[in-house]
């Protein structure tokens, strides 16, 4: 019997479960999302590697997500997933439940002439395009970030002089018991690629405060930034984006290239010839090979320069 089973949504938007296939540990009655068992994470990460998620839930909306979380035993680990662009899932997969928000928590709506309400599953690129169409400026930098707003909030995503939390006026979160919370900016400590706030909560939505601008000017700016990104980064190849944070006063890519790592490979995982802070999966790489290459680069830079590179990518899951 196959190891993957699905609970499909029927016409009444309720989960349709076949008990002959697999005994779910969760009460699925009246839920409207989709639950999968042993879902390959290689299908959901931009590196295209990773073992299976023990359980993989795609909620229908925030209320459905809350109802699902209320039924998860407190000892079962949870992991929230956006576009999978800044994570490395190990080859042994993820124990517990993965909550997938990309394309599902997807409400994006103007609140007034200066504010946008954005759910966590909306892509950063869509936020930039929508703001421009509304004649608002400030989000253009998001056009080139390959992730969701949930991920941008969690890591204070930044690029080309723009930074996520500068725009934030309030957030909505959910804890593992399905309780919803409204938080202000003062509830968080925000720095370069770091955000610290109430523990055990995940972002579900954000209110962005923007400035009036020109649709045409914003579209021009977006095109310029995307061109810079395409010219300088290996777009279209399996990677996680930048692997390391930039150290104070320097660039991780410069240090890695100077140390001779550009173009070097380890079992199908290669440092990009185009941008040294990108590691590319050439097609046959495993998560273990990528993780080993990250460690080798970090050790090399530490030994040669004394600089400790801090990984930007989050490594999660079990080893084989």
Q: Per the residue annotation, which of 193, 245, 264, 267 is the catalytic one?
A: 193
Q: Per the residue annotation, which of 42, 239, 242, 272 is the catalytic one?
A: 242
Residues 6+ apart with CB under 8 A from 21: 1, 5
Instruction: Say if CB 44 and CB 84 are below 8 A apart.
Output: yes
Instruction: Say if CB 150 and CB 82 are below 8 A apart.
Output: yes
Q: Which long-range contacts (CB under 8 A, 24 or more apart) does 16-20 make?
A: none
Q: Which residues of 276-313 are buried (b: 16+ CB within 10 A; e: fewer)?
A: bbbbbbeeebbbbbbbebbeebbebbeeeeeeebebbb
Residues 6+ apart with CB under 8 A from 20: none
Token look-up 């400026």 returns 137
Whether 304 is a known active-site residue: answer no
Residues 6+ apart with CB under 8 A from 242: 252, 277, 278, 312
Single out the residue of 199, 145, 142 nearest to residue 173, CA to CA: 199
Q: Report the distance separating Cα 218 and Cα 243, nearest Å.
A: 29
Q: Report the distance separating Cα 181 and Cα 34, nearest Å.
A: 24
Whether 242 is a known active-site residue: answer yes
Single out the residue of 55, 45, 1, 17 nearest to residue 241, CA to CA: 45
Residue 233 exposed, middle or buried by CB count within 10 Å (0-12, 13-18, 19+): buried
Q: Report the distance separating Cα 18 and Cα 24, nearest Å.
A: 10
Q: List the catalytic residues.
A: 193, 242, 312
């Amino acid at each position: 019997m196959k190891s993957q089973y699905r609970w499909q949504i029927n016409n009444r938007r309720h989960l349709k479960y076949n008990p002959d296939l697999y005994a779910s540990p969760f009460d699925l009655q009246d839920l409207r999302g989709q639950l999968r068992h042993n879902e390959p994470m290689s299908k959901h990460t931009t590196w295209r590697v990773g073992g299976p998620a023990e359980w993989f839930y795609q909620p229908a909306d925030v209320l459905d997500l809350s109802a699902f979380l209320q039924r998860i035993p407190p000892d079962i680990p949870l992991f929230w997933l956006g576009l999978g662009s800044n994570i490395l899932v190990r080859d042994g997969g993820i124990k517990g439940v993965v909550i997938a928000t990309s394309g599902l928590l997807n409400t994006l709506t103007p609140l007034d002439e200066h504010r946008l309400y954005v759910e966590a599953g909306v892509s950063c690129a869509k936020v930039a395009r929508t703001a421009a169409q509304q004649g608002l400026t400030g989000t253009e930098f998001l056009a080139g970030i390959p992730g969701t707003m949930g991920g941008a909030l969690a890591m204070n995503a930044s690029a080309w002089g723009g930074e996520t939390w500068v725009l934030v006026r309030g957030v909505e979160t959910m804890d593992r018991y399905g309780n919803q919370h409204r938080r202000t900016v003062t509830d968080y400590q925000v720095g370069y690629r770091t955000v610290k706030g109430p523990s055990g909560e995940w972002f579900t939505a954000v209110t962005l405060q923007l400035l009036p601008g020109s649709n045409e000017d914003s579209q021009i700016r977006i095109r310029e930034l995307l061109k810079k990104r395409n010219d300088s980064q290996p777009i279209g190849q399996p990677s996680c984006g930048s692997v390391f944070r930039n150290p104070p006063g320097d660039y991780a890519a410069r240090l890695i290239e100077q140390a001779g790592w550009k173009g070097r490979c380890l079992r199908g995982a290669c440092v990009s010839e185009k941008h040294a802070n990108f590691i590319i999966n050439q097609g046959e790489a495993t998560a273990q090979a990528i993780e080993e290459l990250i460690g080798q680069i970090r050790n090399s830079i530490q030994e040669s320069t004394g600089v400790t590179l801090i990984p930007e990518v989050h490594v999660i899951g079990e080893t084989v």
